[in-house]
Amino acid sequence: MAEHGARDTEAKAADVAAYVATMTQELKSMAERHQLTALAYLLELARMEAEARAAEGGRFAGRPDH
In a domain, 66, yes or no: no
SS3 state of residue 16: helix
Q: How many domains does the chain have?
A: 1
| pLDDT one-digit tens code per residue, 6-30 | 666 667 999 999 999 999 999 999 9
| pLDDT one-digit tens code per residue, 26-52 | 999 999 999 999 999 999 999 999 999
pTM > 0.85: no
In a domain, 65, yes or no: no
pLDDT at residue 41, as a whole number:
98
pLDDT at residue 11, as a whole number:
72
| Structural domain span for residue 38 | 2-56
Residue 61 in contact with residue 28, Cβ under 8 Å?
Answer: no
| Longest CA–CA separation in the chain, Å | 51
pLDDT at residue 62, as a whole number:
47
In a domain, 7, yes or no: yes
37-46: long-range contacts, CB 8 A cutoff, minimum separation 24: 46/20
